[in-house]
Structure 1
């Protein structure tokens, strides 16, 4: 079988997409080729998933009809500088934070390029991905991208001008949530809970709250009001959070990550 899907970069996010695409049978292992510089990583991917592996990025460009760029944005120029464009039509999907469509289209002239920003929950099929199409991208190409990224969670389409904002919110967001969960766990320990119990309580509380909001479509403020009774425990805790500036801290975190994404694209 010819190579249909090629991945340049066999790291965590590349593997996350690979594993879900194979589980959902969007591609057969024999139709996938992954380029990865580390021999141990190549061996791991080949053994676990049965896909083709290579250390040569050019072989991906020469063979694949859809290419996923899953490398670090800092090495984008180094990796793409040595690539010779394919004369065959291809779809280029990039998950490189901060790298704009103009730079991607320069590296892959004439090809439809789609910039995407998934996040790490993609590794368990609960990701959030935003996509933005380039100059040569047609609706059919965007539909292909939607199908691929839907394998790891939900997908939205946004103008490229908002991709850095997406990076600051959902791309970096799992880190913010992890810090909040860790703090809740430490808070539980501070008031006497065993760490294992505090961990279970914190994780399931966050998980249940997000599921409730998504299932009901309830606004977060409405849920907050429902669980905040007059003179009760929740309002006491929320008052302390407000005094500590939790809202402004999270807003500034998103802004800082957005700015860093813009810097990476320069």
Structure 2
């Protein structure tokens, strides 16, 4: 089975490395990128072979498309002839905001589509991939996707109308978490800690907190209350955050990301 990748940026490259971990798929990987050097480097590191876009569309049974949403129409139009000649391909889109109905109009009707939205922690096996299937994509296609990307972390099937919301929360969320992580470390430096120490403390605090929330299955409010002693340091900090609309600001950030994701799908 040949697995093609077109676009080897942060997401496309991470998914290619995940797929390459499985001996069954590694040798059949076709890697295409605007920069041939990047494709050659990834092939040397992870496996597979560099290829052109034309070779991917002509030879692969399954194609991951890691290009920007605005580039889909032109890319698929360029290879319309070869796509018309091929039997049904499984095409995987990771374009934010681009709905299945639009994707299906860009290719001959025999091809199947799956929309996925991974986040960057898939690179270390702790990510989230949400996905939705087109009408032509069947259970075998879904099983193949889950098998191929199982090492990514958590995979969640959603109704397509929920994907933009999931993109705003889980897809954009790491950037918001990194801002918080940086702010915690900066605060540590401000209060006298060395930068390296402050960074280590911030990273491990976030990591441990997430693992505890996952393991305990308790509501975040309950876990917060366990740290807040009456009249103590933590509740003083929580009160300060609340006075500056911390939760409201986070909600607004996700809402802004959601609205932008929907705008991208209309361009």
Matched, 1:184 2:180: no
SS at match of 1:132: strand
Residues 197-243 of structure 1 show CA distances to partners (whole Å, capped at 9, x for unaligned) of 11000000000000011112121111001111100111000000001
Match of 1:202 in 2: 202
Match of 1:94 in 2: 93
The count of corresponding residues between Structure 1 and Structure 2 is: 262
SS at match of 1:19: helix
In structure 2, what is the Cα distance between the partners aligned to 1:81 and 1:9? 16
CA RMSD, 1 decimal:
1.3
Report if the CA contact (8 A) 2:66-2:94 is conserved: yes
Match of 1:255 in 2: 255
In structure 2, what is the Cα distance between the partners aligned to 1:103 and 1:80? 12
Report if the CA contact (8 A) 2:20-2:48 is conserved: no
Match of 2:172 in 1: 172
Residues 106-136 of structure 1 show CA distances to partners (whole Å, capped at 9, x for unaligned) of 2232212110000000111111010001121
Of the three residues 77, 80, 87, the one matched with 2:76 is 80
Match of 1:234 in 2: 234
Matched, 1:71 2:70: no
SS at match of 2:5: strand
Of the three residues 20, 23, 47, the one matched with 2:21 is 23
Gaps of 5+ in 1: none
Match of 1:160 in 2: 160
Report if the CA contact (8 A) 1:185-1:195 is conserved: yes
Q: Please give the TM-score of this superposition, normalised by the length of structure 1.
A: 0.95
In structure 1, what is the Cα distance between the partners aligned to 2:104 and 2:119? 23
Report if the CA contact (8 A) 1:95-1:115 is conserved: yes
Residues 18-64 of structure 1 show CA distances to partners (whole Å, capped at 9, x for unaligned) of 11222243512x2100111112212212222231112x312211111
CA drift of 1:14 comes to 1.4
Residues 151-190 of structure 1 show CA distances to partners (whole Å, capped at 9, x for unaligned) of 2111000011011101110000000000000000111111
Report if the CA contact (8 A) 1:118-1:130 is conserved: yes
CA drift of 1:191 comes to 0.9
Match of 1:104 in 2: 103
- Poorly superposed stretches of 4+, deviation over 6 Å: none
* Greater Cα shift, 179-188 or 81-90: 81-90
